[in-house]
Amino acid sequence: MRTTRSTSWSTARSTSTAAVLGLAAATALSACSTPAAAEVPGVTDDKVVIGTHQPLTGPAAAGFASISAATAAYFEYVNAQGGIHGREIEYVIKDDGYNPANTQTVVRELVQEEEVFAIVNGLGTPTHSSVLDYLDQNGVPDLFVASGSLTWNQPDTYPNTFGFNADYVTEGAALAQHAVDTDPDAVVCVLGQDDDFGEGILQGVELVVGDGEVATNQSYSTADQDVTAQLGAMKEAGCTHNVLGTINGFTALAVGTAAQMEWFPKWLVSSSGADYPTLVEYLGEEGTPALEGLVSVNYLPNSPSSEWYELFSEINEEYNDGAPYTGNTTYGMSVGYQFAEALAAAGENPTRESIVAAVESGELRGNGIAPLTFSADDHFAHRTVRIAVVADGVQDFTDDAYEVSESGATPVEPEQAPLENEGIPATE
């Protein structure tokens, strides 16, 4: 009996020695990583550090990796002109490979290790959803999420989260309204991604054509290799106007597959999957004619005739190594402009509270085709979208724009924000 006990104690002693060693190692580790608490995280006298999570590798990289590069280029341009309130903007881009599990790790890294002031333009619905609560609990401003999911517009639950894209319901409603306006006999169908994206588009379309009035609603998963079955069903249902809630890769796949079936319906595509240069890249020379007449919506000055487009092209040449100019470039730089505008409005000494208040104040203009709609009880930026059509290989705006509310889509006049002060937001 006694011997057993003594063995037990010696085991315990050796275990605790091991553990003490472990503790010592842990102390050494934490000593070099515990950062001194700054008053406002990420803000110093001459710098503001912000972070983002983007798909630089993985399935979504081909369609979206160029966005953050464009945003970074715009910030370099701003920094070269002296920054905002004398502070340079440092944009820390982390790759999450469009995998929610990675997003959680990299966002914690941004918040706890890099101590960013805010997360800006975190990309993707599944990815960003996974860090929404975390950012809320830590009081990190979660600005201009790169997705049109309705999730971002919950001011009571997530007071610091703001969307950037026009929400998918708005886009779906505008596209369907356009279809009905141009052809009263339109048979409207929907092909959507099997998440908030596809559901939002469907909801918007049904707002216009009526519940259950969509001829057929098909969906795909991003893991799918082809959409032949879905398009077969749509052709079968006699669709004339297909509204797509698809990302670029799947828009190309849908249009290409239909062309192979010798089927050429009208395509009406969400802004998230209607970037003409990207689609051309996917489809190649032979597939390009099928894109003729493709209708899409946009809320940003993504038109070669816009002065913003001209400025962004110059910035792209100078600060982005002249990367090919696509809709992602306009998007990324517009995000950069909108953040710079919010930072300018947040005052000489910005705090996390003051930048959220600045966005909610409703005074931000943005650079879109209509004034931003941010307010204390609306955390979405764009309720108005403008129709763009591909004609003779050029995607450009028409004069049609729709404002979407709960009662449906109503035609309005677009009011493009003018370019002032060489695209640097003014600080008073």
Which residues of this protein are in contact with another protein, per CB under 8 A? 4-5, 7-8, 10-12, 14-19, 21-23, 26-27, 29-30, 33-35, 56-57, 93, 95, 97, 99-102, 104-105, 108-109, 112-113, 125-126, 129-130, 133-134, 137, 194-196, 221-223
Q: Are 426 and 381 in contact (CB under 8 A)?
A: no
Q: Are 172 and 204 in contact (CB under 8 A)?
A: yes
Q: Are 331 and 132 in contact (CB under 8 A)?
A: no
Q: Which CB atom, from 95 or from 206, has the smaller least distance to another protein?
A: 95
Residue 281 beta carbon to another protein: minimum distance, rounded to whole angstroms: 19
Q: Which CB atom, from 160 or from 367, has the smaller least distance to another protein?
A: 160
- How far is 64 from 34, CA to CA, in rounded Å? 34
Q: Which CB atom, from 15 or from 349, has the smaller least distance to another protein?
A: 15
Q: Which CB atom, from 94 or from 241, has the smaller least distance to another protein?
A: 94
Q: Which CB atom, from 68 or from 257, has the smaller least distance to another protein?
A: 68
Residue 197 beta carbon to another protein: minimum distance, rounded to whole angstroms: 10
**Cα–Cα distances in Å, from 187 out to 2, 184, 235, 265, 407?**
88, 9, 11, 10, 21
Q: Which CB atom, from 323 or from 357, has the smaller least distance to another protein?
A: 323
Residue 41 beta carbon to another protein: minimum distance, rounded to whole angstroms: 13
- How far is 114 from 92, CA to CA, in rounded Å? 8
Cβ partners under 8 Å of residue 12, min gap 6: none
Q: Which CB atom, from 134 or from 263, has the smaller least distance to another protein?
A: 134
Q: Which CB atom, from 229 or from 426, has the smaller least distance to another protein?
A: 229
Looking only at the bridges linking them, the beta strands covering 394-405 and 384-391 are antiparallel
- How far is 152 from 161, CA to CA, in rounded Å? 6
- How far is 255 from 274, CA to CA, in rounded Å? 11
Q: Which CB atom, from 26 or from 376, has the smaller least distance to another protein?
A: 26
Residue 357 beta carbon to another protein: minimum distance, rounded to whole angstroms: 25
Residue 338 beta carbon to another protein: minimum distance, rounded to whole angstroms: 23
In one-letter notation, the amino acid at residue 207 is L
Tokens 């315990």 identify what position?
12
Residue 14 beta carbon to another protein: minimum distance, rounded to whole angstroms: 4
The CB density around residue 93, as the number of other CB atoms within 10 Å, is: 18
Closest CA to 164 of 380, 369, 331, 355: 380
Q: Which CB atom, from 73 or from 215, has the smaller least distance to another protein?
A: 73
Burial track 36-59 (b if 16+ CB lie within 10 A, e otherwise): eeeebbbbeeeebbbbbbbbbeee
CA dihedral sign, ordered 320, 322, 324, 330: positive
The CB density around residue 329, as the number of other CB atoms within 10 Å, is: 27
Torsion on CA atoms 254, 255, 259, 261, rounded to nearest 10: 20
Q: Are 335 and 120 in contact (CB under 8 A)?
A: yes
Residue 94 beta carbon to another protein: minimum distance, rounded to whole angstroms: 8
Burial of 67 (0-12, 13-18, 19+ CB in 10 A): buried
In one-letter notation, the amino acid at residue 360 is E
Residue 169 beta carbon to another protein: minimum distance, rounded to whole angstroms: 18
Residue 174 beta carbon to another protein: minimum distance, rounded to whole angstroms: 25
Q: Which CB atom, from 5 or from 185, has the smaller least distance to another protein?
A: 5
Residue 22 beta carbon to another protein: minimum distance, rounded to whole angstroms: 7
Residue 308 beta carbon to another protein: minimum distance, rounded to whole angstroms: 25
- How far is 269 from 260, CA to CA, in rounded Å? 19
